[in-house]
Amino acid sequence: MITLFKNATVYSPFFEGQKDVMVAGKRIIAIKDSINLPPELDVHIVECEGNKLIPGLVDAHVHITGGGGEGGPGSRMPELQISMMVEAGVTTVVGCLGTDGITRNVDSVLMKVKSLRAQGMSAWMYTGAYQVPPPSITGDILRDIALIEEVVGLGEIAVSDHRSSVPTTAELTRLAAHTRVAGMIGGKAGIVNVHMGDAVDPFRPIHQVVANSELNYKQFVPTHCNRNSYIFEDAKEYGKKGYVDITTSSYPYYMDEEIKPSVALKKLLESGVPLKHITFTSDSCGSLPGFDPETGKLIKIEMGLPSSILREIKEAVLEDNIPFEQALQVATSNPSDILQLAGKGYIKEGYDADLVLLNEDFEIIHVMANGLMVR
């Protein structure tokens, strides 16, 4: 089946104007001002006049097998469902473990990645968890990254958090160096995804690694950089040298503590952080816990959803006056480029046909994943 999107306002994520986009199999095979095909050809035509055609969103931090557990067995979160991705316009996810690298394991994350792929979506994963030394599939994170196609790096390793293993500078440096080398051997990004906690001076562990080794800031993707005001202030400077990931789903659950993601994007750009250094991820199916600062006891818990990404992109445009093509890059081309996800994050000839059609109110009309219309 050939699918032809006619008269779409295309954001690739860059504004391309009104175009026709043709899909055959799982690929985008042509993007032109006008494409006219012979009537005898079996073509599914999607009329897009007045609507935006964007790349499928890339959610690069998802607890695809479920997260949580900080409040005991009853606080474990469920695994990601494909319906949650489709409803959010997300066609690619990168899975990870989190707090619980003890009763949950990386093998299950790998099988969930394979399951999502078997059902037509795109998925990769990080090996490891909060803990150091990190759990692995083969018994060695280097072998996981170098040998297993679906594994793009290590994470999420927790620092500056009461739930972390409090890795030393030497331990964190060794893990980052091993991840880099394994990525080079396996042709991967070899990125270390870092869970940033609530401690004061939260980026200090990464600064110490860079100061005491040959590694640079772009070896790391620190996430939850909008979790409180002081980490965000530090992120404004850190982001000029390395990547900063903004968690979208924790808002509005923590309005008194968090920097709203759309506002965070605006303020990062105003501070001189390069747009290519900024990503949005949902942290979906992970727990969003709140702890009593004096006792350390869990006092509330919520769950993230993939739909938070498109919501914050929309509000970045409508409320914070960020051009749509800029807001769109933080969940399409930027994570794809940083994690080297081949064929993802762009509307380009030869790329995978991951496409989302939006109306003028940013509501999803259609979702195509790998050439298959799933909505």
Q: Among all residues, which ones are annotated catalytic?
A: 283
CA 264 to CA 236: how far, in whole Å? 9
Q: Crossing angle, helix 204-211 and helix 169-186, to 10 degrees?
A: 70
Tokens for 53?
């055609």
From the centroid of its chain, how far is CA 2? 30
Q: Are 67 and 224 in contact (CB under 8 A)?
A: no
b/e map of 147-157 (b: 16 or more CB within 10 Å)? ebebbbbbbbb
Amino acid at 140: D
Neighbours of 36 (CB within 10 A): 9
CA dihedral 78, 80, 86, 87 (to 10 degrees): 30
Q: Are 41 and 203 in contact (CB under 8 A)?
A: no
Q: Are 362 and 314 in contact (CB under 8 A)?
A: yes
Tokens for 183?
């990525």
Q: Are 271 and 236 in contact (CB under 8 A)?
A: yes
Closest C-alpha to 367, from 54, 116, 64: 54
CA 245 to CA 143: how far, in whole Å? 26
